[in-house]
Every structure is written in C-alpha cells, then in structure tokens.
C-alpha cells in the first residue's frame, strides 16, 4: 500500500509523480533502518524484509555519447572539460569521482575505495587502468589544483548543473551519469569481454553489464550465423 501511495496511484500525497526508482531507493533505505533497529534491539524483527521492490514498467537501451558528441562537449566547456573527459574515460560514478583522492591515483591505475567517509555503491573497491584519455584529463586536473582531491570541491548538484550548461552549449542532451554509460558502451563496442567490463565498471552482478551486450560487434549475428532451418 505504501509503495502505491508513493507512486500516487492511491490517494494524492505529492504534486509531482514519484519515479519507481525513487520509491525503490526509499524502500531499500527503510529496510536498512529497520535492520539496524533489529540489531540494536529496538524491534524484534524486520517485518518489511519480504516487501519486494517495484518492477520496471519499461526497458530500453542505455544511452551514451558518441566520440563526436564528447568532443563537442569538451570544446563547449573548456574550464570543466577535464572533469567530463575523466568520467568518460574511467566510468566512475559521480560520487566516486568527487571522493577520489590523488593518493589513490598512480601512473597506471585509479583505485576506487569504499571507506567510512565514502561508501561505493557495491561497498567494494576496484582498480581502473588509466587510458590515454584518462591520463590527459588527470594531467590537466593536476595542473589546476594542490587539493587532496582530484576534482575541485563541489557537490553533486553543482556538478550536474555545470554539466547541464555544457550540454546546452554543445547542443546535446544528457546527464553526468551518461558519461559512465558512455565508458561502458564503448568498451563493449570494442569487443571487451562482458566479465572484464563488469569488473572495470564495478557492477555487482553480470546481469547489469549484460544490458549493454547488444552493443558487442556482431554479437547477435554470430549467435545465428550457422542456423539454417
């Protein structure tokens, strides 16, 4: 009942429609809170443990930027181009990038760590090899700051606003998270095995990575190449 109320299908509790992903995120947080209450002995058990998240109503391919669109983005926003280039060439989530310190960057890799200060989505660490594009971005960012963090100090909202303005100037549409989709999509299109892509992207399960499988070169054609019924 609570899930449907949040969606607005029962009663009216919000002027704006609530996305299913938002309701699912709230439900996960609520479950975590009740679990903590159980640990502390405040309640005897988690009575909402079995409540299922809402299923997606649609399914569509992940959107991503082409190399030409990325170049237009960099040229439209030169002051922040290194940030966008770093995200596009590493696939880091925005929170991971904002929390990345120079101490976790060396000549060959970026190490994403999950700590008390910042927990990654999967609560796990991973290494991202530094590509030529990432190296260029890191060099520019290093020259601009003596800050402990790789990116200039800002919150997620500020970063999203800057990206939105850059997209408008470049005459493209997208969000910072689509830079992550871009990284993953281009790896798959280059024929990188999905298991490798999963590790680089930090996906908890291979099922998430498989959402990009249709981009693999000749992926579908190869599967039916010898079928002659």
d(CA 48, CA 225): 49
Confidence tier at 188 by pLDDT (50, 70, 90): very high
Instruction: List alpha helices for 46-189, DSSP H.
Output: 67-76, 81-90, 94-99, 132-144, 156-170, 177-189
Q: Whole-angstrom Cα distance, residue 150 to residue 143?
A: 11
- Return d(Cα 135, Cα 151) in angstroms, integer: 14
Largest CA distance in the chain: 66
Indicate the pLDDT class of residue 180, thresholds 50, 70 and 90.
very high
* pLDDT, tens digit (0-9, with 9 covering 90-100), for 62-95: 789 999 999 999 999 999 999 999 999 999 999 9
DSSP helix/strand/coil, 109: strand
Confidence of residue 51 (pLDDT cuts 50, 70, 90): confident
Q: What is the CA radius of gyration of the chain?
A: 21
CA dihedral sign of residues 92, 93, 96, 100: positive
Residue 41 main-chain phi, psi, to 5 deg: 80, 15
Tell me the average pLDDT across 170-174. 95
SS3 194: helix
Among candidate residues 172, 186, 196, the one with its CA nearest the CA of residue 87:
186
Rounded distance between C-alpha atoms, residue 5 and residue 71, angstroms:
44
Query: Which of 5-14, 16-25, 197-206 is the least confident region?
Result: 5-14
The token pair at 99 is: 């929390």
What CA–CA distances, in Å, run from 54 to 6, 17, 19, 21?
Answer: 11, 15, 10, 8
């Amino acid at each position: 009942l609570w899930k449907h109320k949040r969606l607005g299908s029962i009663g009216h509790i919000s002027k704006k429609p609530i996305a299913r992903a938002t309701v699912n995120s709230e439900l996960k947080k609520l479950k975590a809170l009740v679990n903590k209450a159980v640990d502390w002995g405040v309640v005897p058990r988690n009575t909402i443990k079995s409540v299922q998240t809402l299923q997606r109503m649609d399914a569509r391919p992940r959107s991503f930027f082409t190399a030409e669109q990325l170049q237009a983005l960099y040229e439209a926003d030169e002051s922040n181009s290194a940030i966008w280039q770093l995200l596009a060439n590493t696939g880091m989530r925005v929170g991971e990038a904002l929390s990345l310190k120079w101490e976790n960057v060396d000549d060959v890799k970026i190490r994403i760590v999950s700590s008390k200060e910042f927990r990654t989505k999967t609560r796990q660490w991973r290494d991202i090899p530094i590509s030529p594009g990432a190296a260029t971005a890191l060099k520019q960012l290093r020259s601009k700051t003596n800050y402990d963090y790789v990116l200039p100090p800002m919150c997620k909202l500020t970063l999203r606003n800057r990206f939105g303005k850059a997209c408008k100037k470049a005459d493209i549409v997208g969000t910072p998270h689509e830079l992550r989709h871009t990284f993953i999509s281009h790896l798959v299109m280059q024929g990188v095995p999905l298991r490798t892509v999963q590790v680089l992207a930090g996906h908890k399960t291979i099922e998430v990575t498989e959402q990009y499988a249709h981009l693999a070169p000749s992926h579908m054609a190869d599967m039916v190449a010898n079928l002659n019924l």
